Amino acid sequence: MVRKLFGTDGVRGTANIHPMTVEMAVRIGAAVGRHFRSDSRGVHRVVIGKDTRLSGYMFENALTAGLTSTGMNVLLLGPVPTPAVGLLTPSMRADLGIMISASHNPANDNGIKFFGPDGFKLSDADEAEIEALIDTGVEPAQASNIGRAKRIDDGRFRYQERVKSTFPAGMRLDGLKVVLDCANGAAYKAAPEVLWELGAEVIPFGVTPNGTNINEGCGSTNPQLAAAAVIAHGADIGICLDGDADRVILIDETGQVADGDQIMALMAARWAEEERLRDGVLVATVMSNLGLERFLDGRGLRLERTGVGDRYVVEAMRRGGWNLGGEQSGHIVMTDFATTGDGLMAALQFLAEMCRTEQPASVLARSFDPVPQLLKNVRYAAGATPLEAQSVQSAIADAEARLNGSGRLLIRKSGTEPLIRVMAECEDEGLLTEVVDTIVAEVSAAV
């Protein structure tokens, strides 16, 4: 079955515009409730977390209405990171976990992410079946079987203790000065508390959410504020989370930014030394830099590439039995510890390496020299199909011929926003810029 409603990570869009409307959220809640309430077990429950967007209140209530109408009992966690929902779904014996968040998107957007009873994100097949139920509608439960809803106060603290347990026993962060940017998002309480409890001196940013300032000029997609703060405060490191804290970008003591590729390179090399990296494989997407692949090759390790989206990284990891993967954007997945990307856990792994080696972040965050890479986005209107234009296809074919094996070209639609992403890698930076700009111009003319 073909999915029309679900993107690369659940359902996402602008609040109060289809598909992110109250009416649709009620229907989605009823559909997923019916889909996961398929056995005869007497108690059925779902945990719901959210980030700090104003529209989260609206969607939390709408989903609760749909879920309880099918007999699901709802446990409301309040603002927690996305990985907390992945953790708490199986821990609390829930049939389903839901996170209300649009991740790194602006405050006016929102989304609904789903986790199965095992704590992992749903498969394409599950999402297609849920879409079918949304289209056809579901039979509500009898009045005597309507579900209940209640707020859970300890979900965040359960998550925080789990995160701290992934840090090496007996190791402390005493003496480390850390700039922490929580993007005014879901980890604005959890992340500072975890780092402080482990001994760090924490300089917090992005910890005053007001419903409309999530990701606004801060967080993993806007690390400039944190980079300046690292320099101003003489900090050892900067940690930038996104709105739902499932991704992280690091800043070294000189103010330089390290993306997910550099974090994965460090972790893969270290885990391989400790014989913890299963089969010597790191899983990453087609967006990861060619320099990462060369770095791994030089150490007898292998990069397994997937489509874009941390869900596809995790699916490949589970199929292959591999335990480390992620995305250049900062999703770092460690299935020994979590079921999805966890920015705070990944940051702790990096901090542990700083403590173990007594090396600065600037050394550890530069495992390889990246191949010059350029990514540009072109926004398009709903219903437009610019990639099908003959002029665009010709430009892409010409670019591939010009690169002629000396680099990579990747053109794709975003799964979370109405954008065409044009990315290329090439040692010749002049050719790189020319190739990308030519394709962007043709795509822009076709939208």
Asked if 312 and 285 count as a contact pair (C-beta separation under 8 A), the reply is yes
Asked if 97 and 71 count as a contact pair (C-beta separation under 8 A), the reply is no
**Structure token pair of residue 344:** 């705070």
Comparing C-alpha atoms, which of 296, 273, 299, 300 is closest to residue 283? 296
**Structure token pair of residue 310:** 């941390």
CA pair distance 128, 142, nearest whole angstrom: 26
| Of the candidate ranges 51-60, 304-313, 340-349, the one whose mean pLDDT is the lowest | 304-313
Query: Phi and psi for 220 in degrees, rounded to 5?
Result: -65, -25
- pLDDT band per the 50, 70, 90 thresholds, residue 417: confident
Radius of gyration of the chain (CA): 22
Whether the domain at 11-154 and the domain at 260-364 fall into the same CATH topology:
yes
Partners of 151 in beta bridges: 76
More confident residue, 235 or 416: 235
Q: Is 103 flagged in the annotation as binding?
A: yes
Q: Is 135 flagged in the annotation as binding?
A: no
CA pair distance 14, 4, nearest whole angstrom: 16
pLDDT number for residue 8: 78
Is domain 260-364 given the CATH code 2.40.50.140 in the classification?
Answer: no
Q: Is 246 flagged in the annotation as binding?
A: yes
Q: DSSP string of 374-415? A: EEEEEE--TT--GGGSHHHHHHHHHHHHHHTTSEEEEEEE-S
- Is residue 1 over pLDDT 60? no
Topology, domain 173-257: Alpha-D-Glucose-1,6-Bisphosphate; Chain A, domain 3 (3.40.120)
Encode pLDDT of 303-326 as tens digits.
999 998 898 999 999 999 999 999
Contacts by 337-340, CB closer than 8 A, 24 or more apart: 337/162, 337/166, 338/83, 338/86, 338/87, 339/83, 339/86, 339/87, 339/115, 339/118, 339/119, 339/120, 339/121, 339/314, 340/82, 340/83, 340/86, 340/115, 340/119, 340/120, 340/121, 340/246, 340/310, 340/314
- pLDDT band per the 50, 70, 90 thresholds, residue 283: very high
Comparing C-alpha atoms, which of 28, 22, 68, 62 is closest to residue 44? 68
CA pair distance 367, 269, nearest whole angstrom: 9
pLDDT number for residue 38: 62
Q: What is the mean pLDDT of residues 317-339?
A: 97
* Full-model pTM: 0.91
* Amino acid at position 235, single letter: A
- Is residue 365 over pLDDT 90? yes
Three-state secondary-structure class, residue 3:
coil
CA pair distance 181, 250, nearest whole angstrom: 10
pLDDT number for residue 9: 85
| Of the candidate ranges 35-39, 274-278, 411-415, the one whose mean pLDDT is the lowest | 35-39
Active site residues: 103
CA pair distance 2, 13, nearest whole angstrom: 19
Which residue has tokens 């150490």?
A: 299
What are the sequence ranges of the domains in the chain? 11-154, 173-257, 260-364, 373-446
Q: Which helix (H) or strand (E) is 423 found in, with range?
A: strand 419-426
Classify burial at 135, counting beta carbons within 10 Å of its beta carbon; exposed 0-12, middle 13-18, buried 19 or more.
exposed
Q: Which CATH architecture has domain 373-446?
A: 2-Layer Sandwich (3.30)
- Is residue 302 over pLDDT 70? yes
Encode pLDDT of 174-205 as tens digits.
999 999 999 999 999 999 999 999 999 999 99
- Fill in the DSSP letter of residue 72: -
Three-state secondary-structure class, residue 343:
helix
Other Cβ atoms closer than 10 A to 174: 10
Three-state secondary-structure class, residue 334:
strand
Encode pLDDT of 74-128 as tens digits.
999 999 999 999 999 999 999 999 999 999 999 999 999 999 999 999 988 999 9
**Structure token pair of residue 36:** 């996961």
Q: Is 252 flagged in the annotation as binding?
A: no
pLDDT number for residue 39: 56
Q: Provide, rounded to the nearest whole percent, the portion of the chain with pLDDT above 70.
A: 98
Encode pLDDT of 126-170 as tens digits.
999 999 999 999 999 999 999 999 999 999 999 999 999 999 999
Topology, domain 11-154: Alpha-D-Glucose-1,6-Bisphosphate; Chain A, domain 3 (3.40.120)
pLDDT number for residue 404: 84
Question: What does pLDDT average to over the chain?
Answer: 95
Q: Provide, rounded to the nearest whole percent, the portion of the chain with pLDDT above 90.
A: 91
Nearby residues of 343 by Cβ (< 8 Å), 6 or more positions away: 81, 187, 220, 239, 241, 242, 245, 246, 247, 248, 330, 332
